[in-house]
Amino acid sequence: MDGSQHEGKAMVEKEKSMQLDQHEGRKKKRRKLSTTSSKMLTQEITRFVAPEPSDDKACLVFMTGIDMGRPVIIDQSRGHFVIGRNRTSDLQIDASEISRFHVRLEFLPGKEVRLVDLESRNGSFVNGHQVREAYLRPGDKIRLGPHVLLKFSFLDEQESDYLGQMFNRVSCDALTGVMNRRYFIDTFERECSFAKRHHLPLSVAMLDIDFFKRVNDTYGHLVGDDVLKIFTQRVLKAIRKEDLLARFGGEEFSVLFRQTELEHVGQISERIRKSVSGELFDVGDLKLQITVSIGTVTMYPSGDLDCQEQLHSLLKIADDNLYKAKQGGRDQVVYSDA
């Protein structure tokens, strides 16, 4: 091999070596960039990991029954929260399987929450296990008796608002905020079963705003909507806390009276009528005289009919009484027993 061949081979080897060095250099650079990017990404992610909010509120969410999805925000300031059938409970669940004072939640330092069964008849369960006492963790499922299921958690304001809005969309009338027809029917069936077992009265009132179509035709539907809102607020002030007001549609509403005799229902219905007609409705620049006609009925649910059939019977009689109130001149109450 002559000198020129040696020189050429050396140059080729040198060029290969340079290319290899450049390739290794690029790999190292890529590894460095990758490591740097990974560190930067980790740093960026870390910045978005917020500390646990200090203002989260303890919450129970119904997972069964007509209140499924309803959040109950717990006032922790008193240090305890009682659930039971009794009206003085912090959360009243009016179901026969629930004891008068069924269970107590105790709020301890460091966000610890202890559940204490109050010698309930049907027991308290956490995640399927019957307990006398248990420390709760977010996400735990609390079952009271055989059917009532609640989920315990801590929620911030946005989460609790979201759950409340979702429940309201399903159960409430969007315009007035009172319960809708579906919720009314579900509640009646539960109350009917309870009234049957304990031989208690159950009453229903049908309410219809007089000449409401004339209001819409004369002033427009926006004014009509405001009239409906004012109307519901006046009715809510006239009825009791345990009574249920629902909008059935248009200008027609219904009230469910629990464990209330006919005479008392007549008195409450008359109070509703006076609360509506007793003061003009201020709607923008308008002052409108609004009245309501009411048909009411009371019955003692029996075992002969199921609760759906008894509801149909009650609503028909209440509607007949409402028609009599309209025919009699409106702005009046007509009531009877079934």
User: Known catalytic residues?
Assistant: 251
| Cβ pair 74, 60 in contact under 8 A | yes
Burial (CB count within 10 angstroms: exposed 0-12, middle 13-18, buried 19+), residue 59: buried
Residue 153, both tokens: 């958690």
Question: How many CB atoms are located within 10 Å of the residue 145 CB?
Answer: 19
User: Both ends of the chain: CA-CA distance in Å?
Assistant: 124
Phi/psi for 306 (5° steps) reads -75, 170
Strand order, beta sheet including 148-155: 71-73, 57-62, 148-155, 141-144, 124-126, 129-131
Phi/psi for 264 (5° steps) reads -70, -35
| Residue 191: closest CA among 66, 68, 60, 71 | 66
| Cβ pair 228, 128 in contact under 8 A | no
Distance, CA of 81 to chain centre: 19
| Residue 332: closest CA among 307, 296, 300 | 296
Q: What single letter denotes the amino acid at residue 145?
A: G
